[in-house]
Structure 1
Amino acid sequence: MEKRKLGRTDLEVSSLCLGTMTWGEQNTKAEAYEQLDYAIDQGINFIDTAELYPVPSRAATQGRTEEIIGDWMADRSNRSDVILATKVVGRSMSDYFRDDKSLPRLTRRHIFEAVDKSLKRLKTDYIDLYQIHWPDRKVTQFGANPIVYDHPEPAEDETPIAETLAAMQELVTAGKIRHLGLSNESGWGTMNYLRSADEGVGPRVVSIQNAYSLLNRTFEVNLAEIALREQVGLLAYSSLAQGIITGKYLDGKRPEGARMSLFKNFGARYFTPGAEPATRAYLKIADDFGVDVAQMALAFVESRPFTTSVIIGATRMEQLKTDIAAHQFTLTDEMEKAINEVHMVHANPCP
């Protein structure tokens, strides 16, 4: 599998990254081990998780995914073979992340507690890529690139980016994290992190993990140029729009065991009025070319010049095998032309 540089670092990550957010909720520990073993065997060396996982997040399960990964690395004695990414939550109204029940913020105290807990659960003394899961400041949309802008009033206790960066530099110096990444961030936020780092405050961010799919190409509007010019590559998540692009939810269908069937309020951003017509159009392209729509969708994201890695996640092994095989998929010029023609009619229905 192709390996790509992570930002300006010397780390080379696989062009597909194994996502983990279902482990400990929809997937058992044994199923997670099976996915991990298969992914590694197929050439994936990049694993992404978070202190929040599994999803939907709740007090009873928070941190369980990291524990599973930590047990697997300990059992396989392979920590040095894995590039491990995890995340610290941003501003949150959930009180179960911190020992004193305080609401999470991206301050030094919160970040230090979060990283130490993650290290303990992961059974490791360092994290290769530590990511800010979402901003401390209030943003108009979780995915950071709104179609309709609704300006939120700034919070009185908003943590300055420089303060967050300074804490991250302490963790780099201590050897607890190697590199810093962003997630669900905007162009303004990304450039401010970069500017602060260039001014000598904290480490330079090396990646940005945002939603990007055939149903949500808002990353292209301004973040794509930042990613390329500043070498802050995209780690794309939800590249199948949480399964929407496969057509399995069309006409109100809710397959047994599927995430949208189990968790009724999960993934509302993918059930917009424009989602079904766009999905049907992409399904027709796949049918016309005689290809798997999931592999076509993943190959499109993987082939973008600003993409470093595509995060794939699955609850069943057959899904995982299909997704991983996407790295061998050849996206032709004719396919890309057809995709762009649909995009011009059905642009970004699920931002």
Structure 2
Amino acid sequence: MQYRKFGSTGLTVSRLCLGTMTFGLQTEEDASRSIMDKAADAGVNFIDTANVYPLGGTESVAGRTEEIVGRWLKGKRDRYILATKAVGKMGPSAWDQGASRKHLLDAIDASLKRLNTDYVDLYQLHSDDRDTPLDETLEALDTIVRQGKARYIGVSNFLAYRLARALGRSDVLGVSRFVSVQPRYNLLFRQIERELLPLATEEQLAVIPYNPLAGGLLTGKHRHDAVPSEGRFTATVGKAGEMYTQRYWHEREFQTIEKLKAIAAQTGETLAKTSLAWVLANPAVTSAIIGASRAEQLSDTLAAIDLVLDPEVKAKLDEATVEYRWGDAPR
């Protein structure tokens, strides 16, 4: 395993981070524990979760993932960097979601209880709550840090201009500053290269991208004309399946994957391993978030840490996917 400084902080994390959003729905607890065991054995010391996980479940199962992670961490909490997130809907009341002071202060306490710990290393906004003033959110997060319930704070799914504004407001207010950003990033979604990644580099923010394999599409195992029987594109994972289908299940993406398969085949590496190595090759990326529904699925992704792409191969991958820098409309 390789390790890297977490942005401008003094923290060091593994270059692969274990994502847990399938734990408790798509992946039962025994399998989830096996996945965490395998990642830990490979040197992964960074675990990412969220209070709304497992993704695709109803409000009634929200929090189950944190509980599974908390039970696994018992007796070894000090050996891992633990990250969780809040903002998503956690209950029936109007204030059971969002980035208001009330919700965030309630949410961190609930997460800590489920995770069976006194603190998380990284507390992140899962998305941007436009209905709550940034100042209120930032001051609430600062309270959480000052109370010792979180060591650092970060964001996920933020547009570059909103993150830039939040950084500016935190400087003006003299409160804790975001140290990381967790965006979606892979060969089929490269829009963040235009503004978010340059901002992160300039502000020395850690970048921990999720979906490096596009929900499994970049394993190359799926066909556009065949409905998958398992994984993130199925109806069994509820709204999550719909979300992933809308993101990636299009003819253009499958045509691109055929090009990527041919490039990977020239190197003798799998498409999954090549795709993850491409994400890690970006100097702005600190740690890529990998996931699995079975422990054996981690073999390829864990091995990607040692794959250094030949510059010519990386150039071919860049060229084959350049249109994904611009969103839905090819240019």
CA drift at 1:248: 2.2
Q: Contact between 2:194 and 2:325, CA under 8 Å: does it hold in 1?
A: no
Helix, strand or coil: the match of 2:218?
A: helix
Give 2:181's match in structure 1, choosing from 200, 208, 213: 208
Residues 246-265 of structure 1 show CA distances to partners (whole Å, capped at 9, x for unaligned) of 22222322332222123452
Deviation at 1:343, TM superposition (A): 2.0
Q: Between the two proteins, what is the percent identity of the paired residues?
A: 39
CA-to-aligned-CA distance 1:69-117 (integer Å, 9 cap, x gap): 111111xx11111000000025xxx4xx147454512111000111000
Higher mean C-alpha displacement, 241-250 vs 337-346: 337-346
| Equivalent in the alignment of 2:242 | 265
Say which structure, 1 or 2, has more relative contact order (CA 8 Å, 6+ apart).
2
Partner of 1:199, secondary structure, is helix
Partner of 2:19: 19
Q: How many residues align?
A: 324
Name stretches of at least 5 consecutive residues in structure 1 with no aligned partner. Answer: 138-157
- CA-to-aligned-CA distance 1:49-68 (integer Å, 9 cap, x gap): 00010010312210000000
Contact 2:220 / 2:272 at 8 angstroms: preserved in 1?
no
* Residue identity opposite 1:252 in structure 2: D
Cα 1:195–1:101, aligned 2, differ >3 Å: closer, same or farther? closer
TM-score, L = length of structure 1: 0.88
CA contact (8 A) 1:162 1:202 kept: no
| 1:254 matched residue in structure 2 | 227
Counterparts of 1:73 and 1:103, CA distance in 2: 27
Partner of 2:76: 78
Q: Which of 264, 269, 280 is residue 258 of structure 2 equivalent to?
A: 280
Match in the other structure for 1:339: 317
* Residues 1:126 and 2:119 aligned together: yes
Aligned pair partner of 1:116 in 93, 97, 109: 109
Q: 1:218 aligns with which of 174, 181, 191?
A: 191
Aligned counterparts of 2:72 and 2:46: Cα–Cα separation in 1: 14
Give the Cα–Cα distance (whole angstroms) in 2 for the partners of residues 272 and 303 of structure 1. Answer: 26
CA contact 2:187–2:324 (8 Å) conserved in 1: no
Specify every segment of 5 or more residues in structure 2 that has no aligned partner in the other structure, as ranges: none
Deviations 1:4-44 (A, max 9, x none): 11122111010000000000001111111111111111110
Match of 1:87 in 2: 85
Which residue type is aligned with residue 121 of structure 1? R
Q: What amino acid maps onto 1:120 in structure 2?
A: K
Q: Which residue of 2 aligns with 1:39?
A: 39
| 8 Å CA contact 1:165, 1:201 repeated in 2 | no
Residues in 2 aligned to 1:319 and 1:215: alpha-carbon distance in whole angstroms: 21
* RMSD, aligned CA: 1.7
On the 8 A contact 1:275/1:350 being kept in 2, the answer is no
Moved over 6 A (4+): none
TM-score by structure 2 length?
Answer: 0.93
**Alignment partner, residue 172 of structure 1:** 145
Q: Deviations over 1:254-290 (max 9, x none)?
A: 3322221234523111123421111111111111222
| Code of the aligned partner of 2:45 | N
Partners of 2:180 and 2:40 in 1: CA distance? 22
Conservation of the 8 A alpha-carbon contact between 1:274 and 1:346? no
- Cα distance in 2 between the residues matched to 1:185 and 1:256: 32
Shift of 1:324: 0.8
Change over 3 Å in CA distance of 1:349–1:199 after alignment to 2: closer
Paired position in structure 1 for 2:172: 199
- Note if contact 1:56-1:266 (Cα within 8 Å) is conserved in structure 2: no
- What is the one-letter code of the residue matched to 1:68? I
* Cα distance in 2, alignment partners of residues 99 and 56 from structure 1: 17
1:143 corresponds in structure 2 to none
